Each structure stands twice: as structure tokens, then as C-alpha cells.
Structure 1
Amino acid sequence: MNTCDWPLLGPLQWTSYVNKQVRVKAGKDEEHRGWLLTVDPVSASLVLVDFGLPGKASVQVVMGHAVEEVQVLQEADQETTERLQTSFLPPTPRRLDPEVLTTTRVRVRSWLEKNRIPVEEEGAELRVAGVLTITAPYGPDDCCSSNQIILDRIQRLIQNQPDALETEPEPTGSPKD
């Protein structure tokens, strides 16, 4: 294909290259290879993925205006297509034991109250000072509030919460007779 052709092809033609291993010539003596994940519809830039090492993927963006030629090297098999489609999805949340969630919710509430933070339970959520909500699994990233100052302080407080296994230190010294 000609230098100017790639950006002019448009999204319908670009999709015919998606999930295929391609060689892209761009600029002077510049060549890129990888699996075409997607094409940006505005800039015609190509997103190439290379699965070099097991469990790893490298991503490279080739700017659309620089593309001189795109050549299909190989069609993706079912496994490669699935890998391309799922490589950049967030991990699926694991199902947590309801007993663990209850224990964690009680620990977080107790910790906040110990630090003189007004907190109440609303179903499975914790409501802090009427302006912040903490949902399961009750970690710093599970806090939601439009008040950034309170959000930051509560997240920091939860992050600095002592582990559940820690107990109050035993007093040292000899027992009184």
C-alpha cells in the first residue's frame, strides 16, 4: 500500500488487519512487527503487541502519519486472538469469603472509631462522616468521596491500620506477688 493510503483507508478497512501479525514500514528504514491490537480512528495509529516472554506483553504504537506499508504476516489462531482480547483487561475480582469481609469491615470500623472518625454501617458499606463510603473488601482503594481531603486522609488511615494478627504488647516486668 502507498504512503498516504493507510490513514485514508478508514476504520472499516483497518479492522480487517486487527488480530493479525503484521509488519509495518514507517519512516526511513524503520520496521515494526507485532500483533495488531487496534487502530486509533482519529490518528490512524497502530497499536502492536508482542508476546515475547510467557506472561509478558510489550506494546508499541506506530503513528498513523508515518505508516508507509502494512503487510499481514500471519492470521491469529483462537488462542492468540483470546490473548490479545484479554491481555489488557483488569483482573477479574476474586470472590471473598463473607466471614472474612465481615471481620475486615468490623476491623476497619473499629480502627476508624479508635481514631475518632465518625463511622456507621449501611448494609455492607461503611459510611464515614456522611461524606465517604467504603465498600468491600474495605481497603484504601475501596473508598469513595467527592471530598478529596477526607478521601486522602481516610485512605492513609486505612493503609496504616495495624495487621489483624497484631495484638496489644504484653506489659514487661516482674509480676506482683
Structure 2
Amino acid sequence: MMQCGWPLMGPLRWLHYVNKEVKVRAGKGEEHRGWLLSVDPVSASVVLVSFGEAVAVRVVMGHAVEAVEVLRAADDETAKRLRSVFLPPPSPCLDPKELRQRRDALRQWLQENRIPVEEEGEELKVAGVLTIAAPYSGQDCRSSNQIILDRIQRLVGIQDCTNQRLPL
């Protein structure tokens, strides 16, 4: 099925194209093929994913889309791969004892380096503005303050790699 006037179709119609292999005709005779992962509801831009040796992601700007043709629907395996494209790699499964040991070691390391930290349930709260969740690596840090987030992520990453005390 070929559709024209892509930006005018709207989100409800765009949903019918998600998880389908499509051919997108864009301005200047360009043609793009891939699995339609998402459509931006504001700009009508199309996110296409191609699987090969590596996953390739391409965004076709909504204003340039002239037509979209469905080639085929995704099977269960392809739909699963599409859902996992932007998910972080799975973290190792640690038992509760190992998680508690990691949390305690990180808390102690932060305290020894004069970084204010306290436990809030299973999470560590750093300086009241950053949270570290299990399994307590740099990737598990959350904060709305990007500068603090970056600094603590680097410190936690260094601590993970070296397991040593660093002077601050």
C-alpha cells in the first residue's frame, strides 16, 4: 500500500506502519528501505532500522517523505529485535547478597572519599541530588544535574575498574 501526504496523515494512521518493512520515497528521488521503528508525532520523521552485521538506524525527516510503501509485516523474531534496538545491554544477574556487597562497597568508597552518601532503601543517594540503583555501576546513576551526573558516573566507573580508593 502506497501513501502520499505522509505528514498530514497523523499519528493514528502512522501506527499502522510501525513494525513493518517499508520503502520510503523522499525528496530528490531518494529511496530508503528498513523496518519502521517509530514516527515522531511532531515532525512526522520516520525512524528506520536495518539489520545486518550491525544495526543501522536512519531518520528520514517528515517534510521530505513523499510516500511510504509497506513491503511486509515483522515476524515475532523481528518484532522482538526491533523492541530491543535501543535497550541497554542486560546487566549481569547478581543475587541479593552480591548486590548488597556492591552497594556497601560503593557507599564505603564514596564516604572514604568524602562524597556525601546515604542509603534510601536499595538505592544510594549522593549529595541529595543523585541516585545510584542496583547493580551500582556508573550506568545506574540518575540525576537532573548533568554536571554532577557526569562526574559521579566517571568516579563510579573508575571505582568499578580499579576497586581502589582515589584521592579527590
| TM-score, scaled to structure 2 | 0.71
SS at structure 2 position matched to 1:7: helix
More helix by share: 2
How far off is 1:141 after superposition?
A: 4.3
Counterpart selection for 1:112 from 110, 113, 122? 110
Q: What is the aligned partner in structure 2 of residue 50 from structure 1?
A: 50
Does residue 82 (structure 1) correspond to residue 80 (structure 2)? The answer is yes
Q: Which residue of 2 aligns with 1:10?
A: 10
Residues 7 and 96 from structure 1, CA distance in 2 versus in 1: closer, same or farther, beyond 3 angstroms? same
- Distance in 1, matches of 2:56 and 2:124, equals 40
Q: Which of 70, 73, 89 in structure 2 is aligned with 1:72?
A: 70
What corresponds to 1:59 in structure 2? 57
Q: Which runs of 5+ in 2 are unaligned?
A: none
Rg larger for: 1
Root-mean-square deviation over aligned CA pairs: 3.2
Larger CA deviation: 113-122 vs 30-39? 113-122
The residue that corresponds to 1:170 in the other structure is none
Report the equivalent of 1:139: 137
CA shift for structure 1 position 110: 3.3
> Shift of the alpha carbon at 1:30?
1.0
Unaligned ranges ≥5, structure 1: 167-177
Give the equivalent residue in structure 1 for 2:34: 34
Distance across 2 between alignment mates of 1:23 and 1:141:
36
CA distance in 1, matches of 2:7, 2:90: 36
Structure 2 contact 3–68 (Cα < 8 Å) conserved: no
SS at the partner of 1:16?
helix
Deviation at 1:150, TM superposition (A): 6.6
Change (3 A) 1:101 1:87: same
Amino acid at match of 2:35: W
CA distance in structure 1 between the partners assigned to 2:45 and 2:132 by the alignment: 40
- When the two structures are aligned, how many residues end up with a matched partner? 162
Write the distance in 2 (CA, Å) between the matches of 1:57 and 1:138: 28
